[in-house]
Amino acid sequence: MLFISLEGGEGAGKTTQAARLVERIESTGLRCLRVREPGSTDLGAELRKLIKRSRTSDEAMSRAAELFLFAAARSELVTKVIGPQRDDPDLVVVADRYADSTVAYQGYGRGIDIETIKSINALATNALMPDLTFLLDCPPGIGISRVRGLQLQMPLDAMKDADTLNRDAEGMKFEEESEEFHQRIRQGFHDLATQEPNRWRVIDATRSIDAISDDIWNAVRDRLPVPANA
């Protein structure tokens, strides 16, 4: 199994690029499993609704509760979906966010101790980490205005794209946070990329969808397993 994750702030283009990458990988004859966090399991989908719901400050979830919900969703994903297939040499997993998002958001963003988060991540993932991680890097203002643009198009475009429709129904929880919160997250991702340069590739996500997709593909294609039937 080759495990690839896409990380970055709100609206950086992870979902768009995950779809492009899966298409390109599948065109080689390899099997590709696309997952997103939180989600991709029954429990993950339920937790996603809870996590993403906008709340007043009185209703806000504690930061530890939020951390545990992401960890619970990830544990289900690894235990039930990715883990059982990890020995398949022909499989490529493309994850739209993974454990690094928790370090960036709950650690750098919310201020929870990073080493504590890494321990919880290790438990939740059974120490399974991606082979290759793309940081789609863009200033928070650009990403959030992309997401807001998407919301403003509702409901005209909604019926065309179930993911988009779900996103609108989910609310805007993290997008509503301050500029400083999103800047800390961006810094967090950069720190992670610096700490593990062999795993991370930093991609300028302010460019066109095609240019970003080509950069990702150029980094991925030499790492792909040779299909068994090739």
Task: Give the footprint of ligand T5A on this chain (CB under 6 A).
Answer: 8, 10-16, 37-38, 52, 70, 97, 101-102, 105-106, 146-147, 150, 167, 174, 205, 208-209, 212
The residue (of 10 and 90) whose beta carbon lies closer to ligand T5A is 10
Helix axis angle for 63-76 and 42-52, nearest 10°, is: 160
Closest CA to 90 of 40, 34, 25: 25
Residues 6+ apart with CB under 8 A from 189: 7, 8, 9, 100, 104, 135, 137
The residue (of 32 and 90) whose beta carbon lies closer to ligand T5A is 32
In the complex, the smallest distance separating the C-beta of residue 20 from ligand T5A, rounded to whole angstroms, is 10
* Amino acid residing at 166: N
The residue (of 20 and 90) whose beta carbon lies closer to ligand T5A is 20
The residue (of 115 and 222) whose beta carbon lies closer to ligand T5A is 115
2-8 β-sheet, strand order: 31-36, 91-96, 2-8, 132-137, 200-204
In the complex, the smallest distance separating the C-beta of residue 46 from ligand T5A, rounded to whole angstroms, is 14
In the complex, the smallest distance separating the C-beta of residue 227 from ligand T5A, rounded to whole angstroms, is 28
The residue (of 2 and 35) whose beta carbon lies closer to ligand T5A is 35
- 113 phi-psi bin (left φ>0, alpha ψ -120 to 50, beta other): beta
In the complex, the smallest distance separating the C-beta of residue 129 from ligand T5A, rounded to whole angstroms, is 14
* Amino acid residing at 66: E
Token pair 């970055």: residue: 8
In the complex, the smallest distance separating the C-beta of residue 203 from ligand T5A, rounded to whole angstroms, is 10
